[in-house]
Amino acid sequence: MADCGCSSGTCCEEWVVGSVISPIGEIPKITGEWSKSDKMGQLKARILNSFRSDYKVEPGLYACGNPDNLSDVFVSANYKLSFDILRKEIGERDAWIVVLDTKGINVWCAAGKGTFGTDELISKIKELSLDRIVDSKKVIIPQLGAAGVSGHIVEKETGFKVIYGPVMAKDITTYIENGYKADEEMRSVPFSFKDRLVLIPMEVSLISEKVWLFIVGILIFFGLMPQGILFKEAFFEGGVFIVFGLLSVFSGAVLTPALLPFIPFRSFAIKGWLLGELCVVICLISIQSSLLDNYFIFLAICLFFPVVSSYLAFNFTGCSTYTSVSGVKKEMKLAIPLYIIASSLAGLCLILYKIQVWRSLL
């Protein structure tokens, strides 16, 4: 590592293309180009939770183009996707990037947690002796970092003025051309159909880990007979339940987020419940199975699966850009007791059904 002066590991990265000399030593020079593995990384980070949780770059200082003491300083998180999007937008422009240690979390979430925060920024500015590198005495922070950074405290402690850039890195060029001013559009968080679709694979991927437990549980429950576990019952009766289970996941984690603005009511839990109930009804009409004629089974399905859809839709508040913690807490007060009551009643119905079946056999 000593040969290029960069911090550990970065020398081997594809996006490090050399180094530039600065008053504090050699700084890794990076490219705005995305390699194949950067593109694959973006895809995997959107789908695989295990990959996303460990998709990091080394915190520290990086050089884009051939920056000097008059170049801009951009601040980013050390989640690699955040960093990649920033370096792509900066391109070959001469600039410095300060990467904060946000434990591999994106700017907004890290700002909420405080890791993209006032203290971390102050310590990085001091640690890197940023005052020896640039004369401008200002750092440009993505606007969504503002929830973690007190600009006036950073300025008081370091002398560096904090300037808030646009929400999205794609607006950086326009922002600079506008004389470092973000217009209304650049200062708002978009949440279009496409923005929501991008988030869906991760939702589904996180749930799929739990869906396996549900499937195994259902197969055992329906297969369990006085003689032991019977495959016919497990697959034919359990199968019907599994179809409803997958449907409710689809309704809550895919359909509700995608159709969010078009579903009535503001509450996410209600939106998800409505769509869930609708999907269940459609499915009840179209599936031909004698199992559904049973009163207990019918009730259990109508009670439980819309609740699953509701819960998953409610979880999407974490992905949305316009929900507040007070709103989420208010929804919880109503939703959680109802979830518990509906699930318990559904469980009771299943037990009653099982007793009914066993009694007819014994």
Q: Counting contacts by CB under 8 A, is residue 336 touching another protein?
A: yes
Q: Counting contacts by CB under 8 A, is residue 22 touching another protein?
A: no
| Closer residue to another protein in complex, CB, 105/349 | 105
Residues 78-117 that bind another protein (CB under 8 A): 103-106, 108-109, 111-113
In whole angstroms, the minimum distance from the beta carbon of 163 to another protein comes to 9
CA diameter of the chain: 88
Between CA 341 and CA 231 the distance in angstroms is 31
In whole angstroms, the minimum distance from the beta carbon of 325 to another protein comes to 4
| Closer residue to another protein in complex, CB, 72/331 | 331
Between CA 193 and CA 202 the distance in angstroms is 16
Q: Counting contacts by CB under 8 A, is residue 318 touching another protein?
A: yes
Residues 38-57 that bind another protein (CB under 8 A): 49, 53-54
The terminus-to-terminus CA distance of the chain in angstroms comes to: 75
* 8-state DSSP, 156: H
Binding residue for another protein, selected from 4, 48, 147, 292, defined by CB under 8 A: 147
Residue type for 260, please?
Answer: L
In whole angstroms, the minimum distance from the beta carbon of 319 to another protein comes to 6
Between CA 336 and CA 329 the distance in angstroms is 10
Residues 115-134 that bind another protein (CB under 8 A): 118
Q: Counting contacts by CB under 8 A, is residue 308 touching another protein?
A: no
Binding-site size, another protein (CB under 8 A): 59
Residues 160-179 that bind another protein (CB under 8 A): 164, 167
| Closer residue to another protein in complex, CB, 63/73 | 73
| Closer residue to another protein in complex, CB, 15/311 | 311
**For residue 362, what are the CA distances in angstroms to 224, 232, 355, 356?**
14, 18, 10, 10
| Closer residue to another protein in complex, CB, 47/229 | 47
Binding residue for another protein, selected from 63, 99, 134, 149, defined by CB under 8 A: 149
Q: Counting contacts by CB under 8 A, is residue 256 touching another protein?
A: no
**For residue 42, what are the CA distances in angstroms to 52, 56, 77, 88, 90?**
9, 12, 15, 13, 18
Q: Are 278 and 244 in contact (CB under 8 A)?
A: no
Q: Counting contacts by CB under 8 A, is residue 276 touching another protein?
A: no
- How many CB atoms are closer than 10 A to CB 273? 27
| Closer residue to another protein in complex, CB, 192/288 | 192
The number of CA neighbours under 13 Å toward the Cβ of 199 is: 20
Between CA 60 and CA 50 the distance in angstroms is 24
Residues 196-225 that bind another protein (CB under 8 A): 202-203, 205-207, 209
Q: Counting contacts by CB under 8 A, is residue 184 touching another protein?
A: yes
Core vs surface per residue 303-317: b (16+ CB within 10 A) or e? bbbbbbbbbbbbbbb
| Closer residue to another protein in complex, CB, 226/264 | 264
| Closer residue to another protein in complex, CB, 251/317 | 317
Helix, strand, coil tally for the chain in percent (to 5): 60, 10, 25
| Closer residue to another protein in complex, CB, 147/224 | 147
* Listed residue (346, 221, 199) closest to 276, CA to CA: 346
Binding residue for another protein, selected from 266, 287, 290, 344, defined by CB under 8 A: 266
- How many CB atoms are closer than 10 A to CB 200? 18
Give SS3 for 264.
coil
What is the sign, positive or negative, of the torsion defined by CA atoms of 181, 183, 189, 193? negative
Residues found near another protein in the complex (CB under 8 A): 49, 53-54, 103-106, 108-109, 111-113, 118, 143-144, 146-152, 164, 167, 182, 184, 187-189, 191, 202-203, 205-207, 209, 260-261, 266-268, 314-315, 317-319, 321-332, 336
